Amino acid sequence: MAARAVACVTRAFASHAGVARMRIERRPKETPPMRPHHAFWPKRLPHRITPPATSLWQNLAISALRYPDKPATVFFGTVLTWAQMKRAAERLAARLQSLGVAKGDRVLLDMQNTPQLIVAHFAILRADAVVVPVNPMNRAEELKHYITDPDARVAITTADLAGEIAAASNALPPGQRLAHLIVSHYTDAFDADVQGDDAPPAPWRDWLLARHAPPTLDGGQVHAWKDALAWDGPLADSTVGPRDLSVLPYTSGTTGLPKGCMHTHGSIMHNAVASSLWGAGSAETVALVVVPMFHITGMVSVMHTAVYLGATMILMPRWDRELAGRMISRWQVTNWTNIPTMVIDLLASPNFASFDLSSLRIIGGGGAAMPAAVAQRLEDQYGLKYAEGYGLTETAAPSHQNPMDRPKQQCLGIPFMSTDARVVDPETLQEVPQGEQGEIVVCGPEVFQGYWKRPDATAAAFFELEGQRFFRTGDLGRVDEEGYFFITDRLKRMINASGFKVWPAEVEALMFRHPAIQEACVIGFKDAYRGESVKAVVVLRASHQGQVSEQDIIDWCREHMAAYKVPRVVQFVPSLPKSGTGKVMWRALQEAEAKASVD
């Protein structure tokens, strides 16, 4: 009888397996074609990965479970453990829910690199809401769009920025204003009396220690950070998964206002996991976090990667070369993602010889090309290969990355894990032969879902190639014989200032608010330190000619837009070159500027 039972089970299993085999045969597994860069793929890594099918919150919950007493962040010497971070994020999530934040709601997050930013980011995710990260350099006029476009009703910020957000909200019609603003002070996260190598630079002390009175939020309420974290109300279960929206970072473009990029938990998860593998990360990783975490690179390649690993983050709210040198030495930093100008600045420090860089294992970045001479110095003196990468807000940071053991200088790298990238003719959208210039296009799990409320822009950004949905980056490039990608030019009109993308149309729209400006055209000019800087060619109204200076325009811009967007140079002209249809010929001005810089 037992034998018959075994036989029956065996037949049933074989029958079930046969069905499974038939199903597999009907759906043969697709094997992606080998490409030249696979010959240089890190041997320890697969070409594709299977990320966890969970929400991003689970990464924090798991790290807190595994490493409860391990430092998650260090902020001017004050340590926040993983267990403490999880508790703080859960308290804040519960408070957000008590304020009416529900699944899918967008919550504005406007902060410098602080422990509060990470706590708030994951609290929003734990509340099943969507993070809207905002550049803290934005001013009230710019912030209006980040409130109205995502329909945000709640914002979280620091006291030094709260006034700008309140001013933006108060200037909106009642139905579009914020209902709640949660405000933290920097000293909520560190000891104001800290001394020694962990102390903030002297010029920062007044800024960090200042106690700002809470602003007035018309029609809404302002809440103190400490009170929000003291909330002990109930926290509803989370129901989001990989396909739900997680973050809505904004990116500008050739025309109009910034557009929100819809990223799911799955698209961010993929690049967090892939970045951890690519950089040989572990719980023992110590990352210097100075690239801003509101930006997609700092958010995904640094913060989310570190949270996934349970690594330690040494936080810097702004760049300061002396503090960076001390932090690397003091905390034995192993990984440093940066903008090349930061490395150049650190190497130029008069105190550089006193810094200990021996702990560094991984160093790299993007946003601008690393000068070959600087990259060579890092390798010759410290054995560090600087690995550049490439990506956009739309691709959750890296779509390309140089292999850590075989990087090429001033190169975007090779297509990232699970990613297919091509170079196509911008007109025909057909792949061009190796070595020829074309538009870089990307297909992969890290690519965003589309632009928030902009189906027209979404449709224009994607096309189908060989049955796959590819995203058009707008960057022109080429592929060498080994499959490495290089950028050559841009289809989009964009200025790259120290890694910050400046979109001329957005700057022009802000400048037109100045009563003296009749017309303005924004272009880029070569800058030995920043790579590129912003120049505005301006036609003044007849009523204001002789009444305002170039410096007056620059000063006004500083008051109304983020610092990196402000024109470094303003040139008054009697008229702007225009086409037969009346469009400003910005390219003619850009080409004239480029020629002048060569001459």
Residue predicted with more confidence, 580 or 70: 70
460-487 pLDDT, tens digit per residue, is 999 999 999 999 999 989 999 999 999 8
pLDDT at position 580 is 63
* Alpha carbon separation from 145 to 150, 176, 251, 260, 506 (Å, rounded): 8, 10, 12, 11, 12
**Mean pLDDT (the chain, rounded):** 90
150-154, 374-378, 433-437, 539-543, range with greatest mean pLDDT: 150-154
What pLDDT score was predicted for residue 67? 98
Q: Three-class SS of residue 130?
A: strand
What's the pLDDT at 259?
Answer: 95
* Across 553-558, average pLDDT: 96
Would you call 237 helix, strand, or coil by DSSP?
Answer: coil
Distance CA 531, CA 83 (A): 42
Q: Per-residue DSSP letters for 37-58?
A: GGGGS-TTS-SS----SS-THH
Q: Please report the pLDDT score of residue 140 as a whole number.
A: 96
* pLDDT for the residue 557: 95
Confidence band (pLDDT; 50, 70, 90) for 8? very low
pLDDT digits (tens, 9 = 90+) for 147-159: 999 999 999 999 9
> How far is it, in rounded angstroms, from Cα 172 to Cα 218?
10
Kindly list the strands in the beta sheet with 154-158, ordered across the sheet, starting from the edge strand earlier in the chain. Answer: 221-224, 180-184, 154-158, 106-110, 130-134, 245-247, 263-264
pLDDT band, very low/low/confident/very high, at 103 (cuts 50, 70, 90): very high
Predicted model pTM: 0.85
Q: Which two tokens stand for residue 570?
A: 């303003």
The answer to whether residues 410 and 370 touch, using CB atoms and an 8 Å cutoff, is yes
Task: Read off the pLDDT of residues 274-286 as tens digits, 9 standing for 90 and up.
Answer: 999 999 999 999 9
Q: How far from each other are the two terminal CA atoms of the chain, in whole angstroms?
A: 96
pLDDT digits 0-9 by tens, 409-462: 889 999 999 999 999 999 999 999 999 999 999 999 999 999 999 999 999 999
More confident residue, 6 or 512: 512
Tens digits of per-residue pLDDT, 14-62? 333 333 333 333 344 455 567 889 988 999 999 999 999 999 999 999 9
